[in-house]
Structure formats: structure tokens, C-alpha cells
Structure 1
Amino acid sequence: MAKTKVLFGLLTFVTIGMIIGALLQLIFIRRLEESSGIPHWANDNDADDLRLGLECDYLRAIARPRLQVSTVVDVKTGKGIKSDVRTSSGMFLSSEERKYPLVKAIEKRISVFSQIPVENGELIQVLRYEKNQFYRPHHDYFADTFNLKRGGQRIATMLMYLSDNVVGGETYFPMAGDGECSCGGKMVKGMCVQPTKGDAVLFWSMGLDGATDQYSIHGGCEVLEGEKWSATKWMRQRTTI
């Protein structure tokens, strides 16, 4: 009986110690948040905003040291060539980087939003547009047979904006609607999307009938001030992995 009481007392002591330890850890984490200047999250929206911001900065950090002059697809060979149609710089994440937890989380969210399997997506491309740079209106679907061999046609595009404080640099859809909008400081017909860090645009290059959609033509308006960073995820008819 005496041994049982001693054992019970020890278990109670250990349990209380664990509870106190957990409370001290929570207090430490809370103070760490406050000292870092990050307020204690009152709701999930604040957490989402911070997470998206960190993801944007993460992709920019990976891309910056590997940026090269952007190319366009040659309709005859299917290979990338330099062109004055597109004046940005960019890079593609590698297959190994695709396995990184943060990149996997981004790709999973794109898959859920677009309802297209992750394995149907190309590697993420990160782009930087500096002042006076642009991308003339174009289609994302292929006009050659070379690129159709792996994964089939591009059916959708997820365009993600990675930076703020950009003047100009809108994504321009000239055949979307009958309104007018500002594209690089010029009023044009169609629809323009202002680049805002953490935002994304999903549009389709093919219809449900499997035909390419000419109305999906779009371009990157001239950047007037700042740097426009974006990440592009193209999705195919079949697996690309």
C-alpha cells in the first residue's frame, strides 16, 4: 500500500511537471513572437497572409542567382529562342527543388484550386521584369508538335505574383470583355490584372471540347517603376513526371 502511494505521488509529480513545462514553452514562444515584431495571430487570415509572403520571398530567393534572359518557343523547332517579344529574365525550378516541402505545398494548393493533378504540371518558372520590360500578347498553348510529346497540350496556367510596389506590369487580356484598362500607363481594350504580392490568376488555354482557346491570349504590360516578380505554373493534359 505504501509503495502504491509513493508510485502515485511520483506519477502526479511528473504529470504536473510536464504541464508546467508545456505552459512555459507556450509563454516562451509567445514572447519570441512579440520580440520579433510579429503580432500574435488573432485569426487564420493573418497567418495565411504571412505564409503567402514567405512563399513569395522563398521563390524569389531561389531564382535570383540563376536568372537568365527569357526565351520564347520557336514554332518550327519547339525550342526556346531569344526574342524582343519578351524582355524579362527567368529560370525554372529543378526536379529536385520540386521535392522541397514548401514547393510541394505550393504545387498542392495549385492542384486543389485548378482541379488538375500535381503530376500534370510543368516545373515552376520564376520571372523578373525590370523597368521598361514587357511580354507582348501571346498564347500559352503550343503551336508545334515537339512540345506535345511530353504531357500533351497546355490546358491551364496559374500565374502567381511575388512582389509589391510595382507601377505598370499588369497582366493584360485583350480579348476579355469590352471594357478598358491601364496597361503600362496606356489605356487599352480588354482586362488588366494589377500585380499584387500573394495574388494569383488562373486561366485556361483549352475549352472542355479539347480545342485551344484563342481568347486566352495575354501579355505582360511594361513595368514603369519597381520590379515585377512572378511565378508561372503550366498544366498539361497528361502527366509530365
Structure 2
Amino acid sequence: MRFHAPIRPELRNWILETTRAGHNVADLLRLMHETGYSPQESRRILAHVLKMPVSAIDARARPQQHGKSVRIRLPDGPHIVADKHPLRVMLSLEAPPLRVFDELLTTDECEALIELAKPRLQRARTVNVDGGQQIDPNRTSNGMFFALGEEPLIRRIEARIAALLGIPVDHGEGLQVLHYLPGQQYEPHQDWFDPHQPGYAAITATGGQRIGSLVMYLNTPAAGGGTAFPEIGLTVTAQRGAAVCFTYEGGDAASLHAGLPVIKGEKWIATKWLRERPYREKAGRD
């Protein structure tokens, strides 16, 4: 049995007084984390002092969400039409839910996205614990974000994705374009946010949890650069105009994936992350 140190009277009184002053559980957890308590210990202490189960602490710590929650509808093929655009389903898996699409984007659309993105490229970042952006040594590409509906081309692609997956445009994060040179990669990772990690409430305060990812290939690298799913032994080859979409509602470990190193040439991709609720973008992401 794990030993827990007794709760100091000063800490108990602070929790009760802070609660009476109108602060909620999320505030208390944040303040305790800032003073050095681990998330697990903070939850245990609050549960004991406030006389409620840890599950109730977790529920109260979640941010209030507004807007309707949705689920992604992955289509079956082989031939489908999304917003008047014909395409094909080349591969279909159910564990994890995954589809590989051919001809999701036209050659002209791929080239136009690359040209629009080039002047705004910066070192690609990942989401940190407060919902902002950070440099990650596991991600060595350059990238940029488009705002929702920023260009006619972006609006057309967003409408196509919404029709393809049965999810409203406003549930998507801004389209991100990434550029990889030889040797650059993105090591194995999950796109969904771990609810047990510090900062989960901040990351999901708008839009809620991520529920799916769509990776669109804007060119065909000379060698390498595919998307690997090590838990299921699958690698999707990067082919211009094709895309892979996978969902992970509830945090599916099988959705672990990696952007494999480019061996020769370069790789351009566009990524769309989808949220369970309407997403409001933060300013200054690129």
C-alpha cells in the first residue's frame, strides 16, 4: 500500500478558505501545481479535504464546454464524393479507425498550398501544457498555420474535409503546412492530449479533446517520409494528393504515429486536427 504523508493543517485551512472565497477545483489544482504539488497528489489532497471522490475532482476540473460535441464519420469506399470532389478509399482499418484516401487534393491545390505557405515557414512547434506552442527536439520540420477560412483555397479544402468526415468546419484547428528536408522527421507521438498531464484543462479549454487527425501529402518525396503506425505495423507512403485520416476518441494507444525521416528530396504535408467541440484559434500561432 502506498504511504501518503498527512495533510498539514495549514494546507487544509488554505484549501477551505480558498474554496469559500469562490475559487473552483481547477483554480485549486493550478495553484497547488504552481507551488510544487504533483497533479496526482493535488487531486488526492483535494478529494480528502473536500470530502469527494477523486472522480468528482476530475469532473469539476474539466473546463465548461460550449457547443455541440460531434463524432467523426469515416467513409467507406471505394469511390466517394465530398463536396462535389470525387476521391477513392485505398485502405480501411477499424483498429485504430483509419482511412487512406487517394486524390483528396488535386495537383494544383497541392502546389498552391506549398506556395502560400513558403513565405511564412518557421521551425515547427508542438502544443505545450498551457495550450501554447513550444520547440520540440523530436519535431525537426518547418511549418506554419493558416487561420480558418483565411484564403479561398483554404475554405474549399475545409469544406471538403467537413463533408468527407461529417464534422463541421469550426471543429477543426487551422490547417498546418509542414516542410521536411532530408533527415528531418517527427518521432512517434500521439496527437490526442493526455488528461493526466499538467495543463490538460488549459489545452482543452476551447474545443475540448482532439478526436482525429488528417494528414495530406502535398508532394511525393524521392525516398522516405511516410507516416508510420508502429503499434499496428503500418506505414502509409507519402504520395501527392493522398491523405491518411485516423481517429482516437477516448485516447487510442494504437494511433501512435511518426513522420519518418526524408531520405532523399523533400516532403510537404498539410495537417488538420479535429476537436470534439467548436474550436477557437489563439492569435499569433505563426
Pair in the same fold by TM > 0.5: yes
Asked whether 1:155 is paired with 2:206, we answer no
Taking a change above 3 Å as real, the CA distance of residues 166 and 147 of structure 1, as seen in their structure-2 partners, is farther
Alpha-carbon separation, structure 1, partners of 2:106 and 2:182: 25
Q: Which residue of 1 aligns with 2:257?
A: 218
Offset at 1:49? Answer: 6.2
Instruction: Determine if contact 2:214/2:271 at 8 Å carries over to the other structure.
Output: yes
User: After superposition, what is the alpha-carbon deviation per residue over 1:5-33, rounded to whole angstroms, capped at 9, x for unaligned?
Assistant: xxxxxxxxxxxxxxxxxxxxxxxxxxxxx
1:1-241 aligned within 5 A: 52-74=106-128, 76-95=129-148, 98-143=149-194, 144-176=200-232, 190-206=233-249, 211-241=250-280
* Alignment check: 8 A CA contact 1:114 1:202 kept: no
DSSP-derived class of the 2:163 partner: helix
Q: Secondary structure at the match of 2:179?
A: strand
Shift, 1:78, TM fit? 3.1
Following superposition, the deviation at residue 51 of structure 1 comes to 6.7
User: 1:213-240 CA distances to partner (integer Å, 9 max, x unpaired)?
Assistant: 1111101011100110000001101111
Q: Contact conserved, 1:69 with 1:89, CA < 8 A, in 2?
A: yes
Q: Which has the higher helix share?
A: 1
Q: Could you tell me which residue of structure 1 aligns to residue 18 of structure 2?
A: none
Distance 1:213 1:51 in 2: 27
Deviations 1:97-116, CA, capped at 9 Å, x for gaps: x2432211111111111111
Paired residue secondary structure (1:145):
helix
TM-score with structure 2 setting the length: 0.58
Amino acid at match of 1:55: E
What are structure 2's unaligned runs of at least 5 residues?
A: 1-85, 88-101, 195-199, 281-286
Q: How many residues align?
A: 176
Give deviations 1:93-136, integer Å, cap 9, x for gaps.
134xx243221111111111111111111100000010000000
Local SS of the residue matching 2:204: helix
Q: Does the Cα contact within 8 Å between 1:120 and 1:235 map onto a contact in 2?
A: yes
Decide whether the 8 Å contact of 1:89 with 1:128 is kept in 2.
yes
Q: Distance in 1 between matches of 2:119 and 2:210?
A: 28
1:159: Cα distance to partner?
0.6
Deviation, 1:149, is: 0.6
Percent identity of equivalent pairs = 41
Over the aligned positions, Cα root-mean-square deviation in angstroms equals 2.0
Cα distance in 1 for partners of 2:187, 2:127 equals 13
The 3 A distance-change label for structure 1 pair 86 and 165 is closer
Letter in 2 for 1:155: I
What TM-score does the superposition give when structure 1 sets the normalisation length?
A: 0.69
Structure whose CA Rg is larger: 1
After TM superposition, what 4+ stretches of structure 1 lie above 3 angstroms from structure 2?
48-51
